[in-house]
Structure 1
Amino acid sequence: MRYDLIDLKLFCDVVDAGSITAGAEKAALALAAASTRVRRMEEALGAPLLTRSRQGVTPTEAGRTLLKHARTMLAQSARLKEDLGAFAGGMSGEVRLLANTNALTEFLPEALSSFLAAHPQVSVDLEERLSDEIVGLVAEGVADIGIVAGTVDVGALVTYPFRSDRFVVVTAADHPLARRPSVSFAEVLDFEFVGLERSSSLQRFLAARAAREGRPLRLRVQLRSFDAVCRLVECGVGVGIVPQTTAARAVKTMALGVVDLTDDWALRELTIVVRAEAELRPYARQLVESLRA
């Protein structure tokens, strides 16, 4: 069997994405080229690595074995690149960081900008995921660092406090809820929503919470940013759920009502999660230190 690093990275990307098409896009390969690589890997092994269905692909037992070793080899390759980078005039490499919606939109832009300015030879691969997904991917070694809601079970991962924030309801200034000091999520479900794209981790989380209440989340429009959500809420399109930091910024320029959510999950203690600190590469360790600061 001859698998190069491109093959191994592609296979990991395909499994993580759940489809060859999405995996090929993530690996920056044409779909035909990616499909050919996967097929040749299976031919070289003499056994299928993926189970294919209309819903996507999942690894077979052989695929799970390959996935485990591929992630180890890719991590070792990245560590080798970093160690040799010191002889080429400084640190060079990439850190993979996963974060939930709140951390990604409200806190990471400023935190990452200072780190990247201080480390011009390091790049950060940042991806948005649900908190429980992040914990699993960090534990498996798919990502170096994760930022998750403090309520999620992190298992044996090492944790550090990051930031605190709270989700609130934003409404148009003349909306019936605007006069309320607080409201439960179940009550908010009586109204139509302005939300983020369905693929965003927050929107998936809210849809799951609505399902627990036995109610649909009635989305009238999906947007790409919290600020855009606030603008349409101001125009009376629907209500929105955004971080308190976003609402405090928006009310300075928009006519909005801001209502506290009474649900326990509305308070978001954001936490940094990593595997054992000794396993972190130097630039990943420096990023953790920067985020904590």
Structure 2
Amino acid sequence: MSTRFPIRFDWKDLELILALAETGSIAGAAERNHMVASAVSKRLSDLEQQFGAALVERHARGVRLTPAGEALRARAGHLLDEAHRLQGELRDYASGVTGHVRLFTNISAIVEFLPRALAAFHQIYPGIRVELQEQVSADVAEAVRAGVADLGIVSELPHMPDLAFTPFRQDELQLVVPAGHPLATREQLCFSEALGYPLVGLHTNSTLHGRLTREAAQAGHELRPLVQVTSFDAVCAMVAAGLGVGVVPRGATTPYVQSLGLIGLTLNDDWAQRQLCLCTRANAVGSPAMQMLFAHLRGTSEAAT
């Protein structure tokens, strides 16, 4: 059993640590927090005495955080964000909202599947507010694991023993090329056949970039995108501009493909059929509101099959 010590600091102390890190001075932190410099110094001294460690080093131009101060700063931002979220959720309850769910998901699910599903959920449960945030799949899983997100939607992640994955929807990837491209007359092909042409890709941290990198390596190529962007619509725009070919989800990009006059080609690779999954903490029950949203999304998934 871990030993619990009484907490003798408050939110203002955490705000001061962040202000000291950002301004680099006692006076700057005092001004930002509408305090006098002597009050900031007193709070800082009290904190250092409680922790038994120096939090700042003073120098000619102001102050800098010590390793202990940096550790506190790193946690302070997260704690304050959580406190603000909690405050907002409690105010929601006061105004008649009966639940709050933080749903993190990749862009494919947001564009293809969630608009109708969430609209229907709101009709059934108007008192539950869903806070939706877009992240790459790896970050979604980490947010669920850390409790920052209540529920997530991800694609192709390795097994994680502390998370549970429930099939949600299938997501088909396609290759998009501009009209007149040498591949434009093809209806279907393997991704390896496109590796001889310039590629427009997503940013390095995206799940899809990782998949394409692995597939290129297996085909004896190094994936070196000519351009890397942060969204699928941007991929389509760059392809339309003649900067290369791109791999995008069919359902999420059909409007862009059609409006830009691009050609969508079927990829014969098995991995082009991606499984999107609902992601939750393993063996965690979750709030009633989260359970309702999970059941609703799972139900819409089963209805679509």
Q: TM-score, normalised by structure 1?
A: 0.65
CA distance in 1: counterparts of 2:210 and 2:13, whole angstroms = 31
Given candidates 268, 281, 289, the residue that maps to 1:283 is 289
Deviation at 1:251, TM superposition (A): 5.0
Equivalent position amino acid for 1:286 in 2: M
Equivalent position amino acid for 2:197 in 1: F
Does 2:171 match 1:165? Answer: yes
Q: Which residue is equivalent to 1:155?
A: 161
Q: Tell which structure's C-alpha radius of gyration is larger.
A: 2
Kept after mapping to 2: 8 A contact 1:170/1:240? yes
User: Cα 1:98–1:246, aligned 2, differ >3 Å: closer, same or farther?
Assistant: closer
Deviation per CA, 1:153-194: give whole Å up to 9, x if none: 242433322111111100012211223343333332322223
Does 2:249 match 1:243? Answer: yes
Equivalent position amino acid for 1:275 in 2: R
**How many equivalent pairs are there?**
256
Q: Which residue is equivalent to 2:131?
A: 124
CA distance in 1: counterparts of 2:211 and 2:149, whole angstroms = 21
Does 2:220 match 1:219? Answer: no
User: Cα 1:199–1:151, aligned 2, differ >3 Å: closer, same or farther?
Assistant: closer
Equivalent position amino acid for 1:127 in 2: E
Deviation at 1:195, TM superposition (A): 3.6
Structure 2 residue ranges without an equivalent (≥5): 1-6, 23-31, 34-39, 56-66, 301-305
User: Cα 1:120–1:267, aligned 2, differ >3 Å: closer, same or farther?
Assistant: same
CA distance in 1: counterparts of 2:222 and 2:92, whole angstroms = 54
> How well do the aligned residues superpose, as a CA RMSD in angstroms?
4.6
User: Cα 1:142–1:253, aligned 2, differ >3 Å: closer, same or farther?
Assistant: closer
User: Cα 1:125–1:221, aligned 2, differ >3 Å: closer, same or farther?
Assistant: closer
Kept after mapping to 1: 8 A contact 2:111/2:252? no
Kept after mapping to 1: 8 A contact 2:136/2:205? no
Given candidates 103, 109, 124, the residue that maps to 1:103 is 109
User: Cα 1:197–1:88, aligned 2, differ >3 Å: closer, same or farther?
Assistant: same
Structure 1 residue ranges without an equivalent (≥5): 12-19, 22-31, 50-58
Equivalent position amino acid for 2:236 in 1: C
After superposition, residues 79-90 of structure 1 pair within 5 angstroms as 89-90=96-97
User: Cα 1:139–1:187, aligned 2, differ >3 Å: closer, same or farther?
Assistant: same
Equivalent position amino acid for 2:176 in 1: V
Deviation per CA, 1:116-148: give whole Å up to 9, x if none: 5643562404131234x4334323323211111
Does 2:200 match 1:194? Answer: yes
Kept after mapping to 1: 8 A contact 2:150/2:290? yes
CA distance in 2: counterparts of 1:204 and 1:187, whole angstroms = 18
CA distance in 2: counterparts of 1:277 and 1:7, whole angstroms = 35
CA distance in 2: counterparts of 1:8 and 1:112, whole angstroms = 36
Percentage of matched positions with identical amino acids = 35
Kept after mapping to 1: 8 A contact 2:161/2:282? no
Deviation at 1:228, TM superposition (A): 4.1
Runs of 4+ in 1 over 6 A off after TM superposition: 6-11, 80-85
With 160-169 and 84-93 compared, the bigger mean Cα shift is at 84-93
Q: TM-score, normalised by structure 2?
A: 0.62
